[in-house]
Structure 1
Amino acid sequence: MQLPFSARTLFQRSSVHLFVGIALAGSAQAQSLTEVFDLAKNYDAAYLSAKAQYQASLAKADQGKAVLLPTVGLSGSASRTELDITGIGAISRAYNTQTAGINATQPLYRPANLATYRQSQKALDAAQAALVQAEQDLIIRASQSYFDVLGAQDSLTFVKAQKAAVGEQLASAKRNFEVGTATITDTREAQARFDLVTAQEIAADNDLRVKKMALEILVGKTGIQPKNFQARVELPPVPEGSVDTWVDTSAQNHPGIQQARTNFEVAKLETEKAQAGHKPTVDLTLGYNSQKNINGTATANLVGGSNQVNLASLGINLNVPLFAGFATQNRIRETVALEEKARLDLESVQRQVAQATRTAYFGLQSGIGQATALQAAESSSQVALDANKLGYQVGVRINIDVLNSQSQLFQTKRDLAKARYDVLLGRLKLSQAAGVLKLEDLQKTNDLLQK
């Protein structure tokens, strides 16, 4: 299900543009979201493992066809026999025997073989679903790591801007104290806030370093610098369709459900294989064999001579099982129980996917609402800060009021930046939960980055 982007804009230009400058400074070497995903696709062990499993399943599916096809074998042997009979009619001689033949068998009726073939094809479907799931998971992990770095960059930028603002307020408090228009309390409050923001700056810088390391580990390359988003970005709207519509979509498309459903079908085929133990089997056999006897055989003496026996055969082999020590009955009981287990596993996965889809749907709704509210809060916080600064200048506000307003403004900016990334990631997670996440969805997000 493809959802259009809203014309409503949630991203507005911030009064602090330092983060834009940082992004532009490294734009020449910066990597886009799709470029990071391509790097991860060629390096991530989890995805490459699923890809290797799919290749193995392709080969295994071809192996499954073998049980329906004829088997042909070429044989040959050479032997020398020393025959020595003592007593009455004593015989002592040696002779050589050479044999060669070609034999073929074609299954005509083997229900277990047919079930095995069908299982191999189902296993291929399961591997395909696993590969799709691994790719969707990699899209989410790459996007998460990418946004984590951008969010950490924004946090560090805002903390530095807050530190500069608090530093200006500290300098102003010191000047006012020196000229006698303010008390030492203003200076000490500003100094305490400056020290606190300095500690926050150290923590933000370390967080950015850790987030970059996580992204580099994902793609297997150092020096990754994500591109920042455009100054004005249109976020996706509230998802089209009800939550039940999305749950229905996930029930049909989620690769996890497809794997569990395939496993259930394979389990039912395993029961058919077990039941085939009570059924007869029919094979067509064809052979041509030749035996050459040199100097005779055990019953004939051909001193200095030889003979050759050629035998061509065509036949039908019928095998009817009568009793196998109750092994077949117990095998059927086992497979029936495993079939029930697979059915219950399918139900469990369906419930988990439905719950994850609902969580992603309502999470995206909430995220869009939070981003809208934080945008308004940013504007309000800026107005409040300006008012407190003016009040401080005319003497109706104290220094701590200005410091608190600054803290509120920059915290709101950090929260808004995080909310924006959460909305974009939440849109991808909703598509993943519904099983419809594709590279086109990643490309739409990538189009929002700076060129």
Structure 2
Amino acid sequence: MKLAKILFSTFFLANSLVFAQSSAVSGSGNSGDKVTLQDAIDFALRNNLSIKQNNLQVEQGINTLDQSKWAKYPTLNGGTNFNLFSGRNINPYTNGIITNTVGSNGFGLNSGVILFDGYQTRNGIALNQLNLEASQLDLQNMKNQITLNIVVGYLNVLSQQDLLSISQRQLEVTQIQLERSQKLVNAGSLPETNLFDIKAQLANDELNVVNAENAIISAKLTLKQLMNTGADRDIELVRVEVPNPSIQAYPATPAQIYEIAQGFLADVQAADMRVKASQKSVDIAKGLKMPTVSASASFNSSFSTAAENVNVTQKIVEQEAGYVNVANIRYPVFAYVPTSVASREKIAYFRQLGGNGNASLGLNVRIPIFNGYSTKFRLTTAQIQQKQSEVQADNVRLRLRQDIELAYVNMTNAAKRFSALGNQVRALEESFRAAEARFNVGALNALDYNISKTNLDRARANQIQAKYDYVFRIKILDYYQNRPLTF
């Protein structure tokens, strides 16, 4: 909330460079791009690099939140492998020892899901949601600050233009008075020394005009830099008529302004969001003490070039087993012997995959027992961070209340100064008219005339500064109440 003080310091310093400066019509020409106050604000919001950086932080927050939301869903992964073995190996199909070259191919699907993790996933989603909202509020707060910067820069240019208008009118008055004095000197009614004093005053007024024109250039450069546009861009501000403010009591007290401000200001809301986020971090740390329950499932199948079917065919073979003698007659003896014939057939690829499939289901429980007090230390850290965020939120509110109180006092003081300067200008205008009349008839010397004119010039310049100071102080209080920065 110290932004208002910084902005005003910049605004007042720029106004103090000269005490007689600027009007848009006479000081800036008409060849540049016409830019309204809203145009300047919109351009700055589109092109400010800090806003672009904060936009990326918001996008990162959205990405992190989406990622945490998907973490609660089951995982599914698949895989495959290809292997080639040569020499002495184990047949993956029969587990027998073989010396052939064997190729294999496997497929697998695995899935897992967390059934319970101490609410860490749920609290993590809530934490990321709060962090995202805090980032969005930070972005809004930055936009508000840039808007205030642009308003101050815009008002600064207008004030310089108003002061240049005064300087030019002062120069015109001095030129007219020089012409009158020249005639009186020629007629012998005034000594020539009076003419020298008027010429010196004219040179001083011309210098004030030059200084005022330079101040407009500097003020415009500051505004261009706030807009993040090139210094060589020629712009013409569409003049916002800032009427002379009426001196009356502000319609809200500092306490009322504070109550409104803390309810909508983005930096206060961001601090509150971070308090809530720190509470979720504590809940996540507490969840580390609880068991984690997960389920898993898998399906696998494989193929091997060594896999084959062995077909065995049996048949009865008659074979002569010997002979016997019966009555000296030799008779052959035949035996019927069963024999088997084996044939080998490679098993087809997809047939193997269908036949080798296996599935599994699992339920896993992990119970934390001792992990070097890591859970304890993490919980303590989260609790400390929660207290820090609470103190930070209180500090934001404290600064807000103090800044509002200071802004209110400054507004009241600015109103008093503007009123007093108005009285001073009116009194000096009367005094100068009397001095001018006396000077024109030779009843007042040029030195006293110049002193009277200089006092009036300075008072008018101070009145312009006081006017914009007072208006700006009012706008700061309006900003704290979410009122539009219009004039």
User: Which band: TM-score by shorter chain?
Assistant: 0.7 to 0.9
**103, 108, 111: which one aligns with 2:110:** 103
Q: Which residue of 1 aligns with 2:160?
A: 152
Distance 1:313 1:90 in 2: 28
Q: Report the secondary structure of 2:369's partner residue.
A: coil
**55, 66, 73: which one aligns with 1:62:** 66
1:107-146 CA deviation, whole Å, 9 max, x = no partner? 2212322222111100111112112112211211111111
TM-score normalised according to structure 1 size: 0.82
1:32-74 CA deviation, whole Å, 9 max, x = no partner? 2112212222222223332332233222221221222222222
Q: Which residue of 1 aligns with 2:431?
A: 384
Distance 2:258 2:455 in 1: 39
Distance 2:169 2:52 in 1: 42
TM-score normalised according to structure 2 size: 0.76
Distance 2:412 2:273 in 1: 33
More strand by share: 2
Distance 2:197 2:27 in 1: 34
Counterpart mapping for 1:98-177 below 5 A: 98-110=105-117, 111-177=119-185
Matched, 1:71 2:75: yes
Q: Which moved more, 1:168-177 or 1:121-130?
A: 168-177
Q: Which residue of 1 aligns with 2:297?
A: 286
Q: CA RMSD in A?
A: 3.2
Distance 1:195 1:24 in 2: 22
**96, 100, 108: which one aligns with 1:93:** 100
CA spacing shift, 1:112–1:237, aligned 2, 3 Å: farther
**70, 84, 88: which one aligns with 1:84:** 88
Considering only CA atoms, is the larger Rg found in Structure 1 or Structure 2? 2
Distance 1:81 1:303 in 2: 21
Q: Report the secondary structure of 2:474's partner residue.
A: helix
* Structure 1, unpaired ranges of 5+: 1-15, 446-451
Kept in 1: contact 2:103–2:305 (CA 8 A)? yes
Distance 1:310 1:231 in 2: 84
Q: Report the secondary structure of 2:448's partner residue.
A: helix
Kept in 2: contact 1:162–1:407 (CA 8 A)? no
Matched, 1:254 2:265: yes
Q: Which residue of 2 aligns with 1:22?
A: 26
Q: Which residue of 2 aligns with 1:196?
A: 204
Kept in 2: contact 1:97–1:293 (CA 8 A)? yes
Please report how far the alpha carbon of residue 248 of structure 1 lies from its aligned counterpart in structure 2 after TM superposition. 1.6
Kept in 2: contact 1:132–1:255 (CA 8 A)? yes
**347, 359, 362: which one aligns with 1:315:** 362
Please report how far the alpha carbon of residue 150 of structure 1 lies from its aligned counterpart in structure 2 after TM superposition. 1.1
Kept in 1: contact 2:24–2:161 (CA 8 A)? no
Counterpart mapping for 1:182-193 below 5 A: 182-193=190-201
1:345-398 CA deviation, whole Å, 9 max, x = no partner? 222222112222222233333334433443443333322221211232345433
Distance 1:240 1:231 in 2: 20
The amino acid across from 2:439 in the alignment is Y
The amino acid across from 1:251 in the alignment is Q
The amino acid across from 1:22 in the alignment is S
Q: Which residue of 2 aligns with 1:448?
A: none
Q: Which moved more, 1:44-53 or 1:241-250?
A: 44-53
Distance 2:297 2:399 in 1: 55
Counterpart mapping for 1:39-58 below 5 A: 39-58=43-62
The amino acid across from 2:108 in the alignment is G
* Structure 2, unpaired ranges of 5+: 1-19, 91-95, 309-343
Matched, 1:212 2:220: yes
CA spacing shift, 1:85–1:392, aligned 2, 3 Å: closer
Identity across the alignment (%): 17
Kept in 2: contact 1:235–1:423 (CA 8 A)? no
1:206-263 CA deviation, whole Å, 9 max, x = no partner? 1111111222233325221112244856669643221101112222222112222222
Kept in 2: contact 1:54–1:128 (CA 8 A)? yes
Distance 2:465 2:58 in 1: 37
Kept in 1: contact 2:260–2:480 (CA 8 A)? no
